[in-house]
Amino acid sequence: MNAVDRRSVLLAGLGVAAGAGVAAGADALGSATATGTTAPNASGDPGAPRGPGASGSPAPKSGGTGAEHRLSLTAAPATVDLGAGVTARTWAFDGRVPAREVRLTAGDTLVAELANRLPGRTGTAVHWHGMAVPNAMDGVPPVTQREVLPGAGFTYRFTAATPGTYFFHPHVGVQLDTGMYAALIVEDPREPMAYDDEWVVVLDDWLDGIKGTPDRMLQALTSGGSGGSGGEETDGDGSGDSGLLRGAGGSVAYPYHLVNGRVPADPDTYAGKPGARVRLRIVNAGSDTAYRVALGGHRLTVTHTDGYPVEHQEADAVLVGMGERYDALVTLGDGVFPLVALAEGKNRTGLALVRTGKGAAPAAGVRPAELNGRVITADLLTAAEDVRLRAAPDDVTHLVRLTGSMDRYDWSINRRRFDMRDPRAAAFTVRRGQRVRLDLKNVSEMFHPMHLHGHTFQLGTSGARKDTVTVLPHRTVTVRLDADNPGDWLLHCHNVYHGEAGMMALLSYVS
């Protein structure tokens, strides 16, 4: 995080005091915004009237600050340095893995210009994971837009209504498993939590350019599974079951697990001061790996998942499925500490370091005891009171059976494999204004992190507000949402190989 970002966070925390000093007549939101990251890009007058985004946390889904945040994303082949002499030929946005973090203030408008310089006829698009964008900005070809072909571009434009921790990635084929991803942070102009700094922790399982490509992996998985041609590609070594996931951790044996694009032998290092309070924003951008994350020598206070606040809970570690995000507060000790992401069921780890004082760095394969302490999973969380869904009867209930098997790799929903050429077939239909209940019933032997586009749902009746929820084998998770964002929205497994094999469906609004 750069100095400007940090200042904006601190100012937001200071609230009124900062406002008084900077702009007479502006409220705390105005001054925090004017001093923060968005000011250089703002097209409007920083003192202009603010929308209803100013009224509380999280900001309501309308209105805006008037500030525009412009960025360009060029998708192209790149050779990236993963540390410790490991380089990989991959596809990336602007040659970086992860791509440059995007940071906005709630109410800002993001204007992102995508340019495609990928090889051959490789189309792409950008999906803004977790953001309740207008349907046409959701980045899912061919459902919400056409594929952006090489040499062409597309401009995404939407207002970031709700503060939180998000990320973005392509939603074409298995491009999620390339280097094309980055964190997207929406700051709360009235941030209610006090902290001294914040660190974004982006996790990823990596094979591209090291062990074939994601496309080849998909082919191996779908053309015979473990017994077929995929034998040497797919998992066979170092894997096992995960107790937390009640089964296999995945099907792909990744050579590396990265934290912020770095291998454990050459980790990213966060510098801080002993006693400082830091907000961690943890994003799992992986494709086939759930991570158990802990900071050695520290306890975590879990505060948010998928951007939405929860009643705070103390934990030693947190389980983060693919597509999930968790925020946690931590008070730093004095020394050098390992921030470890254990790949569930894969017997491998990713690593970053936290350095606040003297000391030798821990070994690359370190496994702090906290990994085996109290692990927070989403089902243990309760939504913060101000983000709970209002009580209302269910207007429509859909049974979403998660079907298929690892052997046949015939992942599907209600036994139907999604067909991108006919995406609206067998859609789950809803009407605007309905309270929608989805019963996610996993009848398979493997966990599935189910992600819904364009909405957040609530687990149970007062559980966490989320957009991605891990459904364990032979379990049913009931979620509810308000149908308030018309369009055709994907509901799918965020294991990119499961999704691409067919575990997707559409939630479609009808009139």
Nearer residue to Cu ion within complex by CB, 246 or 374: 246
Q: Which residue type, as a one-letter code, is found at position 126?
A: V
Number of residues that bind Cu ion (CB under 5 A): 4
* Cα-only R_g, the chain: 22
Nearer residue to Cu ion within complex by CB, 91 or 497: 497
Q: Which residue type, as a one-letter code, is found at position 302?
A: V
d(C-alpha 250, C-alpha 409), whole Å: 12
Pattern 452-491, binding to Cu ion, x per CB under 5 A? ----------------------------------------
Measured from the CB of residue 411, what is the shortest distance to Cu ion in angstroms? 6
Nearer residue to Cu ion within complex by CB, 144 or 495: 495
Binding part of the chain for Cu ion, among 44-52, 160-168, 417-425, 444-452 by CB under 5 A, reads 444-452
Nearer residue to Cu ion within complex by CB, 281 or 492: 492
Binding part of the chain for Cu ion, among 241-249, 261-269, 325-333, 496-504 by CB under 5 A, reads 496-504
Q: Cβ(177)–Cβ(215) under 8 Å?
A: no
Binding part of the chain for Cu ion, among 104-112, 386-394, 456-464, 492-500 by CB under 5 A, reads 492-500
Region 292-321 residues binding Cu ion, contact defined as CB under 5 A = none
Q: Partners of 83 in the beta sheet?
A: 86
Q: Cβ(304)–Cβ(354) under 8 Å?
A: no
Question: Sign of the C-alpha dihedral, residues 353, 358, 363, 368?
Answer: negative
User: Please, is 391 exposed, middle or buried when counting C-beta atoms within 10 Å of its C-beta (0-12, 13-18, 19+)?
Assistant: exposed
Binding part of the chain for Cu ion, among 48-56, 160-168, 181-189, 446-454 by CB under 5 A, reads 446-454
Measured from the CB of residue 495, what is the shortest distance to Cu ion in angstroms? 4
Give the DSSP letter of residue 446. Answer: B
Q: Does 127 bind Cu ion (CB under 5 A)?
A: no
Element (H, E) at 79: strand 68-83
The three-state secondary structure class of 30 is helix
Nearer residue to Cu ion within complex by CB, 448 or 465: 448
Measured from the CB of residue 287, what is the shortest distance to Cu ion in angstroms? 11
Measured from the CB of residue 290, what is the shortest distance to Cu ion in angstroms? 11
Q: Does 498 bind Cu ion (CB under 5 A)?
A: yes
Nearer residue to Cu ion within complex by CB, 257 or 498: 498
Q: Cβ(103)–Cβ(425) under 8 Å?
A: no
Q: Does 493 bind Cu ion (CB under 5 A)?
A: yes
Q: Does 495 bind Cu ion (CB under 5 A)?
A: yes
Token reading at 133: 């964008």
Token reading at 157: 């434009």
Token reading at 53: 């985004």
Q: Cβ(509)–Cβ(427) under 8 Å?
A: no
Q: Does 190 bind Cu ion (CB under 5 A)?
A: no
Region 318-337 residues binding Cu ion, contact defined as CB under 5 A = none
**Sheet strands (E) in 285-374:** 291-295, 300-305, 308-315, 317-320, 325-331, 336-343, 348-355
Nearer residue to Cu ion within complex by CB, 129 or 498: 498
Nearer residue to Cu ion within complex by CB, 353 or 469: 469
Measured from the CB of residue 251, what is the shortest distance to Cu ion in angstroms? 10
Q: Cβ(289)–Cβ(344) under 8 Å?
A: yes
Q: Does 448 bind Cu ion (CB under 5 A)?
A: yes
CB atoms under 10 Å from CB of 421, counted, come to 7
Measured from the CB of residue 403, what is the shortest distance to Cu ion in angstroms? 10
Nearer residue to Cu ion within complex by CB, 57 or 444: 444
Binding part of the chain for Cu ion, among 72-80, 236-244, 380-388, 495-503 by CB under 5 A, reads 495-503
Q: Partners of 281 in the beta sheet?
A: 200, 327
If you search the block for the tokens 């992996």, which residue do you land on?
A: 217
Nearer residue to Cu ion within complex by CB, 234 or 495: 495
Contact set with Cu ion (CB under 5 A) = 448, 493, 495, 498
